[in-house]
């Protein structure tokens, strides 16, 4: 059975979140109760992405593989910085823009279509580059190289993915070092279950849209690996 189109899914998310918010407040930074992201991680774990660098309103972060934009909106509210999300799927970007507009976040968060290993962006623009659970992207020399290119000198890279093998983690670190990143660091993080209201929202969305994309149905991974690096100043 084919998955529901992205724009239809976005409208269903808007409806479920609007109805649920009448009785249950959404978590801070998540007006759509986390329905607008297929990342199955504890969002508090993602706060560590903001630990590198001083976050103020003039910081400018790039979210690679931004999907429906939930992660970018959440991090923007948490950190106060501006964020651009890039995703290679035009229909997904259109849906992310719709959700962004409904959340009144167009001044702080934007989205555009682009291939992650050939970004349609100028060099040395961003203070931070974030990647979360991109299939094979963290292992892609092209994506790592592009992340390095668009970072300002002294800028920070943060990657989060499901627990890697020791060999897999070493491979990612080697590729990041090969394109010029320094101060490489890894850590394993434990993920908590989402808040009850978010599980309730997911159940309601499932009842509204039976053919959810596979990413929306994934269970929370118990652990994740985070990798941090810096572009030399």
Looking at domain 6-230, its CATH class is alpha beta
What does the pLDDT look like over 112-138, one tens digit per residue?
999 999 999 999 999 999 998 765 544
CB neighbour burial string for 106-133, b if at least 16 within 10 angstroms, e if fewer: eebbbbbebebbebeeeeebbbbbbbbb
pLDDT of 3 over the 70 cut: no
The two structure tokens encoding residue 6: 């992205």
| Higher local confidence (pLDDT), 155 or 5 | 155
Instruction: Check if the beta carbon of residue 116 is closer than 8 Å to that of residue 137.
Output: yes
Angle of the 6-21 helix axis to the 196-208 helix axis, nearest 10:
130
Residue 109: strand pairing partners: 83
Per domain, the residue ranges of the chain are 6-230
**Binning pLDDT at 50, 70 and 90, where does residue 207 land?**
confident
């Amino acid at each position: 059975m084919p998955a529901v189109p992205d724009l239809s899914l976005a409208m269903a998310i808007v409806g479920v979140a609007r109805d649920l918010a009448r009785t249950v407040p959404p978590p801070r930074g998540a007006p759509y109760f986390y329905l607008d992201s297929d990342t199955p991680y504890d969002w508090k774990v993602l706060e560590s992405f903001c630990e590198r660098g001083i976050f103020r309103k003039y910081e400018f972060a790039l979210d690679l593989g931004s999907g429906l934009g939930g992660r970018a909106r959440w991090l923007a509210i948490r950190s106060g910085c501006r964020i651009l999300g890039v995703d290679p799927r035009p229909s997904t970007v259109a849906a992310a823009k719709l959700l962004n507009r409904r959340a009144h976040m167009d001044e702080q968060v934007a989205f555009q279509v682009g291939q992650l290993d050939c970004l349609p962006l100028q060099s040395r623009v961003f203070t931070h580059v974030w990647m979360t659970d991109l299939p094979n992207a963290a292992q892609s020399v092209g994506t790592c190289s592009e992340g390095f290119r668009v970072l300002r000198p002294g800028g920070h890279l943060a990657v989060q993915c499901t627990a890697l093998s020791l060999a897999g983690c070493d491979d990612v670190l080697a590729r990041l070092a090969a394109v010029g990143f320094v101060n490489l660091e890894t850590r394993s993080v434990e993920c908590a279950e989402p808040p009850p209201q978010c599980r309730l929202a997911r159940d309601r969305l499932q009842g509204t849209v039976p053919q959810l994309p596979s990413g929306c149905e994934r269970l929370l991974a118990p652990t994740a690996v985070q990798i941090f690096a810096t572009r030399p100043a």
